[in-house]
Amino acid sequence: MSDGPSLKFQSELTKLLPNLRAFARSLTRSSDQADDLVQEALVKAWRNWHQFAPDSNLKAWMFTIMRNAHLSERRKRKNEVQDVEGEFASQLSAKAEQPGHMDLIDFQVAFAKLLPEHREALVLIGAEGFSYEEAALMCGCAVGTMKSRVNRARTKLAALMGIESAAEIGVGEASDVFVRATG
Amino acid sequence: MLAEPLMDEQSGLSKTVEAEIGSGLKRLYGQMLSEPIPEKFAGLLEQLAKSSGGKTERS
């Protein structure tokens, strides 16, 4: 056996924990499942650290590991009916209100309703700031596919939140004019 | 009121809507990023370091 990962590897992983947890939450929509996923990914990373090229992007590498682990878990569980939207939405409810902005809970509920590949694309591009090329590589799809996923995700989000036209967004009173998806 | 909004040719959404979605996404993700990290993760990493045979670069 070769030497284990360096302390540097360990500290880099530690620094990435917030991002790993946030990405896992976006994938699973459940904090318990997310933490399980992060733990699994850390163990896998540790076992396969020698496959990581030191000058490449550790976050992209970890996200790819996590994404693959999540997909195989989802295949295993595909017969279980799960509704985690409610849980996802309730987790942040206590601290979500901010005046003058769109209602974060509405946004979160709509986000949770998106297709998994759309949530993933939005987060990688819109929140993590990966390039379309990087995200496509991580997700094993064409760059054009990644672009169209992001566009569809945005369109779907806007529709779910009832903000299909700019005129519906009032400055400073945005949360009042959004049509709630459920009556 | 508002001038005719610029539309994104790809998504068909106005720039205003795209910006609103972008900022909502960043706020949601930012909130997840700022959550405290449970102790168990540091523990797991320590455990993994030990199990790799004490060959880490400890000083």
The per-residue pLDDT for range A133-163, each reduced to its tens digit, is 999 999 999 999 999 999 999 999 999 988 7
Averaged over B35-44, what is the pLDDT?
94
DSSP string for A2-45: -----HHHHHHHHHHHHHHHHHHHHHHS-HHHHHHHHHHHHHHH
Phi and psi based region of residue B58 (left: phi greater than 0; alpha: psi -120 to 50; beta: remaining): beta
Flag whether B27 is in a domain.
yes
Q: According to the model, what pLDDT value does residue B15 have?
A: 84
Q: According to the model, what pLDDT value does residue A97 have?
A: 47
Q: Is the pLDDT of residue B54 over 90?
A: no
φ, ψ of residue B14 to 5 degrees: the values are: -70, 155
> What residues in A contact B53, CB-CB < 8 Å?
1, 3-4
Residue among A15, A22, A118 nearest B27 (CA) = A22
Rounded CA separation A47/A173 (Å): 51
Sign of CA dihedral B5, A151, A28, B52: negative
User: Count H helices, E strands: chain A?
Assistant: 9, 0
Quote the tokens at residue A87: 């849980």
Domains and CATH numbers, chain A: 7-80 (1.10.1740.10), 98-182 (1.10.10.10)
Flag whether B12 is in a domain.
yes
Does A164 contact B at CB distance below 8 Å? Answer: yes
Averaged over B22-46, what is the pLDDT?
94
φ, ψ of residue A75 to 5 degrees: the values are: -65, -40
CA of A8: which chain B residue's CA is closest?
B57
Give me the residues of chain A with pLDDT under 70, please.
Answer: 1-3, 79-102, 164-183
Flag whether B4 is in a domain.
yes
pLDDT band at B5; cut points 50, 70, 90: low
Structural domain count of chain B: 1
Flag whether B59 is in a domain.
no
Flag whether B58 is in a domain.
no
| ipTM for this prediction | 0.78
Q: According to the model, what pLDDT value does residue A25 have?
A: 95
Domain residues for the domain of B2 are: 1-53
Q: Do B44 and A7 touch (CB under 8 A)?
A: no
